[in-house]
Amino acid sequence: MTAVPVAGATETPAATAMVEAVGVRKSFGRTEVLKGIDLTVRPGEVTCLVGPSGSGKSTFLRCINHLETIDSGRLSVNGHLVGYRQRGDRLYELKPAEVAAKRRDIGMVFQRFNLFPHMTALQNIMHAPVLVRGESRKAARQQAEQLLERVGLAGREHHYPSQLSGGQQQRVAIARALAMQPPLMLFDEPTSALDPELVGEVLDVMKGLARDGMTMVVVTHEMGFAREVGDSVYFMDDGVVVESGTPTEILENPRHERTRAFLSKVL
């Protein structure tokens, strides 16, 4: 059982935080990818992680739902540790089945759509509620149809991924994540694999989720989305949070020279 040093003295993070990261560190071999990340996301907020490729954004996102383990620090979702239990001043990794149970409350949308190619859009969305949550096929089907309508894909229920555009596949992937009714959604550059003309349809769905009050952490290079929808923006570089604040503070009035240099190339 892996033990991880705990950062911070409190036994449990603030109940008002949906995501709470304190001193999170992560290395791959001798390369330290995360060098002490502190971040707080409150319920209903949209937090955008921006920065150059290789800055640790996607790795941090994967740590939130324990797709990657952390080397030290603390990460919690909705007041509960994800992937670990605490004993004294150490964290011990949970068994895989326990991790999977905790992960049910965290939806994640990846760069690549990762849909099951042999399943229709409807079947892709129904799969986890039936298999993991034990829902009846009737209830899961009804929910899947509603979600397809929500993401603008009513009438595409029986289309296979190969029959859908990239933007449509990504919208199915969003609906599939929503089918587990998670209180938190993670998006890892969800438009980066799309042709430019398809980006807008995915961002529109995400904007709708934000209007509905979904808590979201979004790794993105879409600065317009971050400015319009984000409640907070964290600029990361070389495994650290260089600065954070509101979209206006970070995107229009950055304090740090590294942030200004990055934005000068992407805005």
pLDDT in tens, the chain (267 residues): 566 776 654 444 445 799 999 999 999 999 999 999 999 999 999 999 999 999 999 999 999 999 999 999 999 999 889 888 888 888 888 888 888 888 888 999 999 889 999 999 999 999 999 999 999 999 999 999 999 999 999 999 999 999 999 999 999 999 999 999 999 999 999 999 999 999 999 999 999 999 999 999 999 999 999 999 999 999 999 999 999 999 999 999 999 999 999 999 998
Per-residue confidence (pLDDT) for residue 172, from 0 to 100 = 97
Closest CA to 41 of 210, 242, 248: 210
Per-residue confidence (pLDDT) for residue 2, from 0 to 100 = 63
pLDDT, one tens digit per residue, over 233-253 is 999 999 999 999 999 999 999
57's tokens = 């954004």
Give dist(CA 147, CA 154) in Å, integer.
9
Count of other CB atoms within 10 angstroms of residue 182: 20
Give dist(CA 113, CA 249) in Å, integer.
33
Closest CA to 236 of 215, 218, 252: 218
Residues linked to residue 31 through DSSP beta bridges, in sequence order: 28
223's tokens = 């600065």
219's tokens = 């790794």
Give dist(CA 63, CA 47) in Å, integer.
16
Closest CA to 124 of 147, 98, 100: 147
Q: Kindly list the distances between the CA atom of residue 15 and the CA atoms of 37, 77, 116, 124, in Å, as whole numbers in the listed order.
A: 19, 10, 36, 34
Q: CA torsion sign, 253 to 247 to 201 to 111? A: positive
Residues linked to residue 236 through DSSP beta bridges, in sequence order: 241
pTM: 0.92
Closest CA to 203 of 78, 92, 46, 56: 46
Helix %, strand %, coil % of the chain (to 5): 35, 25, 35
Q: What's 185's DSSP letter?
A: E
Q: What angle do CA 180, 181, 187 make, to 5 degrees?
A: 80
Q: Is-contact 71 27, C-beta < 8 A?
A: yes
Give dist(CA 91, CA 81) in Å, integer.
9
Give dist(CA 142, CA 140) in Å, integer.
5
